[in-house]
Structure 1
Amino acid sequence: MPELSALAWAALALGAVAVGVSKTALPGVNTLAIALFAAVLPARASTGALLLLLIVGDWFAIWVHRKHARLRALLPLIPAVAAGLLLGWLFLGIADDTWTRRVIGAILLLVIGVTLWRRWRAREEEVTTGPVAAAAYGTLGGFTTMVANAGGPVMTMYFLAARFPVRAFLGTTAWFFAGINLAKLPLSIGLGIIDVPTLLMDLVLVPGVIAGAFLGRTMLGKLDQRTFERIVIVLTIVGALYLLLS
């Protein structure tokens, strides 16, 4: 078990709750969890620790939204996502904690930029999907999710462009990330970023994911999402800048 201060444990617990909420109600909250974990733990270790909690959250997301998935929409993404995962795996194999930390910070800023651009683009015109879009978003999503568990906003752009209803969107992305995160598990173990201390730490944090999942289910449809997402974006920018400059 890692020796951490009470403040560090509190930050990790908050990140675990954010994982649960992101899986059942607000996908964007996951960026806050990434920033908290990378700020408290060594950068590479934070990726592995967060992955295990994301897998727990994935099954809650599937349970809540299991009847609304459109699984055929995932088929065009598989080759590009696999290529992105491979690129991310190669990067983690050669990068040290300093570079991984900075890349996670840069990815978080990229993710926020993509999110804001998506909102602006939605006002201007509809984003289209097709083979080129699937290749571009799939590759970038695979890389960002392998390196920093931050593929959510990138893939959100793709799925929103398909004009899914809210529940169909949540159900399809739930199955998508459940499969991707399970595929990342052996790669992460092979890189040594998941070990016994990581498992022990995550066992302590799993109740936070479960609490967050139920909290998200309660919040679904009852929350002023715009205000909440603005707070998350600001906090994530602060966390990303800390990772880049520290």
Structure 2
Amino acid sequence: MQLIASFTFFQDTQTLLVAILAVFLVGLSKGGLGGAFALMGVPILALVMPPMQAAALLLPILLMMDAISVWTWRGWFDRATLWHLLPAAFVGIAVGALTAAITSEAFVRLIVGLLALGFVMRMTVMRAGALPRGQRWVSGSFWGAFAGFTSFVAHAGGPPFQVYALPLRLDPRLFTGTSVIFFAVVNLVKVAPYAALGHFDTKTLLSAAVMLPLAAVSTVLGAKVIQRINAQVFYPFMYITLTLVGGKLVWDGVSGFWL
């Protein structure tokens, strides 16, 4: 433990165990097992370190998970969905980088959470989830930009992506593979502005390196589970996950304003 403490943020056993839990849950999510786990990463790490330090620590780990996920889901992606979302996501990332100093993370989480819950309520009341919806440029541009922005400022890009992609009713493997590629590109683009804002240092990178073996194992495990789920189970599961994510984000946002 003393050896690890000398070059990482893991100064005690409690901090190390908290980091292990956070990375394991994020890895399950990156493998395809629901966005709720991914959103737990920063809040869990924030129990033992500052939130921005937690976000910076997770980004190199996310890149490793992305590489594994892209390989695992190779060949499974919907080109039209990426084409409708990614260009606008780059704009959202740029806005996030330019406004990072004045943007409240609590506000972003609250807005994203309310939108996610509103979307689930709408789909439930209208029962629109059973019929596929076509690609839409205006909608794709809005949600793509929103996903890029919220991913940059709060690692919370999952709900905006799901709001656009879930009604398309893609095959579960296509949905997961498309999500994997989308966030792999988004996270890669985020590296330069994160570095420019001074979020990376030697200790951050070494702390991330310690977590990489666990990141690999948990990502593969998440992919193995989701590959065995059919559409009749997958979509209800994803809507339940989005509801949990929305509730978690609203709670985090409200708590951030009051604490």
The residue number in structure 1 matching 2:51 is 43
Share of identical aligned residues, percent?
26
Helix, strand or coil: the match of 2:40?
Answer: helix
Q: Distance in 1 between matches of 2:164 and 2:200?
A: 30
- Calculate the TM-score normalised by the size of structure 1: 0.84
The structure-2 alpha-carbon separation of the partners of 1:234 and 1:162, relative to structure 1 and needing over 3 Å to count, comes to closer
Q: Distance in 1 between matches of 2:64 and 2:209?
A: 11
Unaligned residue ranges in structure 1 (runs of 5+): none
Structure of larger gyration radius:
2
Q: Distance in 2 between matches of 1:76 and 1:236?
A: 25
- Calculate the TM-score normalised by the size of structure 2: 0.80
Residue 90 of structure 2 corresponds to residue 89 of structure 1: no
Post-superposition offset of 1:89: 0.3
Give the aligned residue type for 2:82. Answer: L
Helix, strand or coil: the match of 1:67?
Answer: coil
Helix, strand or coil: the match of 1:199?
Answer: helix
Unaligned residue ranges in structure 2 (runs of 5+): 1-7
Give me the CA root mean square deviation: 2.8
The residue number in structure 2 matching 1:8 is 15
Matches within 5 A, 1:152-163: 152-163=158-169
The residue number in structure 2 matching 1:138 is 144
C-alpha contact (below 8 Å) 1:28/1:153 kept by paired residues = no
Q: Distance in 2 between matches of 1:226 and 1:138?
A: 19
The residue number in structure 1 matching 2:69 is 61
Q: Distance in 2 between matches of 1:117 and 1:65?
A: 30
Q: Give deviations 1:7-29, integer Å, cap 9, x for gaps.
A: 23222211101111011122231
Bigger drift between 15-24 and 71-80 goes to: 71-80
Which is richer in helix? Answer: 1
Q: Distance in 2 between matches of 1:205 and 1:181?
A: 18
Bigger drift between 33-42 and 216-225 goes to: 216-225
Post-superposition offset of 1:192: 0.6
C-alpha contact (below 8 Å) 2:114/2:250 kept by paired residues = no
